Amino acid sequence: MAAEREPPPLGEARQPELEELEDGEDLFTSTVSTLESSPSSPEPASLPTEDISTNSNGPKTAEIILDDDREDLFAEATEEVSLDSPEREPILSPDPTPAITPVTPTTLVTPRMESKSITAPVIFDRSREEIEEEANGDVFDIEINVSDPEKVGDGMNAYMAYRVTTKTSLSMFHKNEFSVKRRFSDFLGLHSKLATKYLHVGYIVPPAPEKSIVGMTKVKVGKEDSSSTEFVEKRRAALERYLQRTVKHPTLLQDPDLRQFLESSELPRAVNTQALSGAGILRMVNKAADAVNKMTIKMNESDAWFEEKQQQFENLDQQLRKLHASVEALVCHRKELSANTAAFAKSAAMLGNSEDHTALSRALSQLAEVEEKIDQLHQEQAFADFYVFSELLGDYIRLIAAVKGVLDHRMKCWQKWQDAQVTLQKKREAEAKLQLANKPDKLQQAKDEIKEWETKVQQGERDFEQISKTIRKEVGRFEKERVKDFKTVIIKYLESLVQTQQQLIKYWEAFLPEAKAIA
Amino acid sequence: MTTALTEIKHLPTLILLVCCEYLAIFKKTVAMHEVFLCRVAAHPILRKDLNFHVFLEYNQDLSVRGKNKKEKLEDFFKNMVKSADGVIVSGVKDVDDFFEHERTFLVEYHNRVKDASGKSDKMTRSHKSVADDCNRIGSSLYTLGTQDSTDMCKFFLKVSELFDKTRKIEARVSADEDLKLSDLLKYYLRESQAAKDLLYRRSRSLVDYENANKALDKARAKNKDVLQAETTQQVCCQKFEKISESAKQELVDFKTRRVAAFRKNLVELAELELKHAKGNLQLLQSCLAVLNGDT
C-alpha cells in the first residue's frame, strides 16, 4: 500500500514537513478500508493540474479531498504546520477546513488536515490559470447519457457493459465530448469511493442502483426474453439517473475519482463491491456495528433544526414508501389490464367472425381493432407509470436513506466529541492524582496526554460544527433539488396521462360511426 | 395524531365509494330486469301468460316460493339428460338447410360469446383495480401534501385532488364497460344457450317423429295396432311441424334482437367511453395548467 500511496494534494512542498511529526505517530494507520486502492490515480507529476476546487458557482465550501489510502499526514502534530507557502495561491474562503476522518472500526489515530485557525484560507494545489478560468464562470454544463447495453462474455462470467457518454463545456475535463464503457460494478465502485470520502463529513452522496442477483443471472444465462430486456433497460435508466444526480452535486463534480470514471478508457475492476468478497463481508459487519451504535447514542440535540429535519425525513420516508407501493401496484394492474384488453380484442375478433349479420360482424371486428390499439396504449402508459413515476420514488427513498445516514454520522461525530471530553476529564483526574503522588516522570506524560486530549476535544467540537454546517447546506440543496425533481417528473407523468386520454378519444371517435352503421 | 385525522377525513370518501359501488350494481340489476320484462312482453305467446300479467299488475306483495329440494333435483337431472341427449341429437344431420345452418352457427357463436364474455369480465375487473390504485395514490399524495414543508405541499395537494377525480372517472369507465359490454355478452351467452336448447327440443321432437314413423311402418307390416301407431305418428308430426315453425320464427327474432341490442350497446359504450375520456382529459389539462402556472 505504501508503494501506491499518493502524496497529499497539498503538493510536494509539504513533504519535508513530515519529518517534524513525532515519532510516536503512526503516519500510515492502515484504515481497514472497504475501498480498493486506486492505483490509477494521477502521479505526482500531474498534481498541479489536479482540480480540487469548488465550483465557483456552487457553494463556497472549501475542502480537501483525500483518497483513503493517501493518509493525510498531520495527525496530532504538535507543531502547527505552516500553510502559507509562497507558491500557493490561496483561495479565500470564509469557511474553515473540514476535517475528513475516514470512519473505520479500528481507527486509532484520525489523520486529518489541520488549519491554522478557523478563518485560515483553504489551500488548493492549482495553477494560476485554472483559478482565473473558474473565476470567469464555468457554467454548470454537463450532460451524461448511459446507453447501448452490450453483453460481454459468456456464461456466469458474462456482464453487461454500458456506454457512458459525457458532453460538457467544463474546463476540468480534457475533452468536450467523450464516452467510455463501464460495467455495473464500476458504478458501484465509484459510489463506494465517493461515499467513503464524503458521507461522514455530511455530504449527501447519491446512492447507486441496487444489485439484483436474479436479474443479472437471467441476463448471464442468456435468456433473451422480455423480462431480461426490461431488466437491462431498468438498470440502464437507473445508472443514467445516478450519474446525472452525482454530477449535479457541485462538490462531487470536482472529485478526481468521478472524473476518472467518466474519462478514463480503462478502469481497474472494483472487486470489493462484490457481496461475498472479504470487503463485502466487512461492510456487512460495519453496518451491523453501526446499527447497534445508533441505538445506544442518545444525543442531546441542542439544535431544533436538526430535530425537526430528522422527523421530517422520517415522515417523508414513510409516505414515499407507501406511495411507491401504490404506484408499483398501479403498474402491475395496468399491465394486467393491457393483457386482458388484448385477450378481449382477440375474442371479439373471433366473435365478429362467427357473427352472420354482416354489419354487426364488421362492427365487432372494428371493436376488436380498437381494443387492440387500446391495449397498446395501456402498455405504454404502464411504461410511463414505471419509468417516470415509480422509479423516481424509488430513487428518492434511497436518497433519503443517504440523508438519514448523514444525520447519523453527525450523531457519531457528536459522540466522538463527547467521548473525547470524557477522556480529557479522566486524564485531568489522573494528572491530579499524580500531582499528589509526586511522580515527576509520569506527571510529564500525563500533562502531555492532557494537551493531546484537549486538542482532540477542540477538534471534535470543530468537526461537529463543521458537519452540522455542511449538513444544513446539503439538506437545503437536497430539498431544492427534490422540489424541482418532483415537480418536473409529476408534470411529465401527467402529460403522459393526457396523451393517453387524447388517443383514447381518437380511437372511440373513429369507432362510433361504425357502431351506428349497424343496420 | 395527524394520521388519524387524515383517516377520518377520508371516511366520507369511503362511504361515498361504497354508495357508488352499490349504485353501479343496482343500475346493472335494474337494467337486466328491464330487458327481461321487455322480452317477455314482446313475445307473442309468453306475453299472454297469466303469471306475467299477475306479476305486472298485482299491487301487493307476491310471495314467491323458492324452488324446494325436489324441484332443484329435478332441474339437475333434466340438465343431465339434456346434455347427454344433446350430444346424441346434435349428431343427427338436419334435412332442413335453415336449421342446419342455425345449428352450426349457434354452436360456434355460443362458444365465442362465452369466451368474449369471460375476457370482457376480466378486462372490466382490471379497469377497476387500476381505479382503486389511483385512489390509494391520491390519498398518499394528500398525506405527503399535508406533511411537506416546502412549496411542494400545494403541488401534492393539487395532484392528489386530480387523482381523486380521475379515479372516479376510471371507476365509471369500468362500470359502464361492465354494463354495456360484459352484461351484453353475458346476456347473449344465455340467449344463445336458450336458442340451442330450442333446437335441441326440436331435434328431440324430430327423433320422436322419426321413431313414430318407424313404429307405424312396423305396425303396418305386422298389421297390429295400426290405428294407434297412425295416431301417434300424426301427433308427433304435428308437434314437430309446430315446433319447427315457432323455432324458425324465434331464431329469426333472435337475430334481429341480437343485432339491435349489440348496436344499442356498442353505440352507448362508445359514447360513454368518449364522454369519460374527454372528462379525464379536461381534468388533466386544467390541473397541468394550474401546476405549470405555479412553477
**Is the per-residue pLDDT at A129 higher than 90?**
no
**Is the per-residue pLDDT at A106 higher than 90?**
no
Q: What is the pLDDT of residues B217-242, one digit of tens each?
A: 888 888 888 888 889 889 999 999 99
Residue A297 pLDDT grade (very low, low, confident, very high; cuts 50, 70, 90):
low
Same domain, B139 and B239: yes
- Measured distance CA(A519)–CA(B255) in Å, rounded: 12
The predicted model gives A265-270 an average pLDDT of 76
B112 touches chain A (CB under 8 A): yes
Residue A303 pLDDT grade (very low, low, confident, very high; cuts 50, 70, 90):
confident
Residue A174 pLDDT grade (very low, low, confident, very high; cuts 50, 70, 90):
confident
- Measured distance CA(B110)–CA(A355) in Å, rounded: 10
Residue A277 pLDDT grade (very low, low, confident, very high; cuts 50, 70, 90):
low
B286 touches chain A (CB under 8 A): no
**Domain assignment of residue B33, yes or no:** yes
Same domain, B8 and B106: no
Residues of B in contact with A516 (CB under 8 A): 263, 267
Q: Which residue of A has its CA nearest to B131?
A: A330
The predicted model gives B78-85 an average pLDDT of 62
Give the nearest partner residue to B144 out of A319, A356, A360, using CB atoms: A319
Domain span holding position B16: 1-40
According to the model, what pLDDT value does residue B11 have? 72
CATH number at residue B225: 1.20.1270.60
According to the model, what pLDDT value does residue B268 have? 95
Query: Nearest Cα to A425, choosing from A298, A417, A459, A464?
Result: A417
Domain count, chain B: 2
Record: contact B140-A323, CB cut-off 8 A:
yes
Asked if the ipTM is above 0.85, the reply is no
Say if CB A469 and CB A436 are below 8 A apart: no
- Measured distance CA(A87)–CA(A240) in Å, rounded: 41
Q: How far is B74 from chain A (nearest CA, A)?
A: 34
Best of A318, A326, A390 to substitute, by most chain B Cβ atoms within 10 angstroms, is A326
Residues of A in contact with B285 (CB under 8 A): 498
**Domain assignment of residue B270, yes or no:** yes
**Domain assignment of residue B141, yes or no:** yes
Best of B121, B130, B172, B274 to substitute, by most chain A Cβ atoms within 10 angstroms, is B130
Record: contact B262-A327, CB cut-off 8 A:
no
Same domain, B36 and B99: no
Same domain, B19 and B116: no
Record: contact B129-A355, CB cut-off 8 A:
no
**Domain assignment of residue B80, yes or no:** no
From residue A307, give the alpha-carbon distance in Å to each of A62, A342, A400, B151, B154: 26, 53, 16, 20, 24
B167 touches chain A (CB under 8 A): no
Same domain, B238 and B122: yes
> Grid coordinates in use for A257?
475519482
Residue A45 pLDDT grade (very low, low, confident, very high; cuts 50, 70, 90):
very low
Same domain, B135 and B1: no
Same domain, B14 and B113: no
Same domain, B27 and B155: no
From residue A281, give the alpha-carbon distance in Å to each of A35, A102, A194, A401, B67: 13, 18, 19, 21, 71
B171 touches chain A (CB under 8 A): no
B137 touches chain A (CB under 8 A): yes
**Choice between A236 and A65, residue whose per-residue pLDDT is larger:** A236
According to the model, what pLDDT value does residue A470 have? 92
Same domain, B149 and B261: yes
Query: Nearest Cα to B184, choosing from B267, B278, B127?
Result: B267
**Is the per-residue pLDDT at B267 higher than 50?**
yes
**Is the per-residue pLDDT at A37 higher than 50?**
no
Record: contact A344-B122, CB cut-off 8 A:
yes
Same domain, B9 and B142: no
Q: For the stretch A229-254, what's the b/e string if a residue is b when 16 or more beta carbons lie within 10 angstroms of its beta carbon?
A: eebbebbbebbbbbbebbbbbbbbbb
Q: What is the pLDDT of residues A247-257, one digit of tens each?
A: 999 899 889 99
> Count of A–B CB contacts within 8 Å?
157
Q: How far is B119 from chain A (nearest CA, A)?
A: 5
According to the model, what pLDDT value does residue A30 have? 40
Record: contact B137-A330, CB cut-off 8 A:
yes
Q: How far is A184 from chain B (nearest CA, A)?
A: 32
- Measured distance CA(A75)–CA(A28) in Å, rounded: 10
**Domain assignment of residue B104, yes or no:** yes
Q: What is the pLDDT of residues A148-170, one digit of tens each?
A: 888 888 877 888 899 999 998 88
**Domain assignment of residue B82, yes or no:** no
Q: How far is A475 from chain B (nearest CA, A)?
A: 12
In chain B, residues 252-281 whose CB comes closer than 8 Å to chain A? 255, 258-259, 262-263, 266-267, 269-271, 273-274, 277-278, 280-281
Percentage of the residues of chain A whose pLDDT score is greater than 70: 68
Say if CB A365 and CB A299 are below 8 A apart: no
Residue B52 pLDDT grade (very low, low, confident, very high; cuts 50, 70, 90):
confident
- Measured distance CA(A312)–CA(A322) in Å, rounded: 15
Record: contact A354-B108, CB cut-off 8 A:
yes
Beta-bridged to residue A159, according to DSSP, are A152
Handedness of CA B268, B269, B274, B280 (dihedral sign): positive
A162 three-state secondary structure: strand
Residues of B in contact with A315 (CB under 8 A): 147
**Domain assignment of residue B58, yes or no:** no
**Choice between A127 and A406, residue whose per-residue pLDDT is larger:** A406
Give the nearest partner residue to B150 out of A359, A483, A511, using CB atoms: A483
Query: Nearest Cα to A367, choosing from A516, A499, A502?
Result: A516
Same domain, B126 and B28: no
Residues of A in contact with B280 (CB under 8 A): 497, 501
The 3-state secondary structure of B71-126, one letter per residue? HHHHHHHHHHHHHHHHHHHHCCCCCCHHHHHHHHHHHHHHHHHHHHHHHHHHHHHH
According to the model, what pLDDT value does residue A119 have? 37
According to the model, what pLDDT value does residue B4 have? 57
Q: How far is A480 from chain B (nearest CA, A)?
A: 9
Residues of B in contact with A359 (CB under 8 A): 259
Q: What is the pLDDT of residues A48-69, one digit of tens each?
A: 333 333 333 433 333 343 333 3
Residue A498 pLDDT grade (very low, low, confident, very high; cuts 50, 70, 90):
very high
pTM of the model: 0.69
Residues of B in contact with A494 (CB under 8 A): 159, 162, 284, 287-288, 291
Q: What is the pLDDT of residues B198-221, one digit of tens each?
A: 998 998 888 888 888 888 888 888
B126 touches chain A (CB under 8 A): yes
Same domain, B277 and B155: yes
Handedness of CA A232, A233, A236, A237 (dihedral sign): negative
Q: Which residue of B has its CA nearest to A499?
A: B281
Record: contact B116-A348, CB cut-off 8 A:
yes
Q: What is the mean pLDDT of chain A?
A: 75
**Choice between B279 and A136, residue whose per-residue pLDDT is larger:** B279
Give the nearest partner residue to B140 out of A312, A315, A322, using CB atoms: A322
According to the model, what pLDDT value does residue B50 have? 79
**Domain assignment of residue B119, yes or no:** yes
Q: Which of A118-127, B62-71, B105-114 has the highest mean pLDDT?
A: B105-114
**Is the per-residue pLDDT at A102 higher than 60?**
no
The predicted model gives A126-133 an average pLDDT of 43
According to the model, what pLDDT value does residue B95 have? 67
Give the nearest partner residue to A502 out of B129, B130, B281, using CB atoms: B281
Percentage of the residues of chain B whose pLDDT score is greater than 70: 88
Give the nearest partner residue to A508 out of B255, B262, B277, using CB atoms: B277
Record: contact B116-A495, CB cut-off 8 A:
no
Give the nearest partner residue to B126 out of A336, A359, A502, using CB atoms: A336
Question: Locate cell 300424426: which residue?
Answer: B234
**Choice between A346 and A23, residue whose per-residue pLDDT is larger:** A346
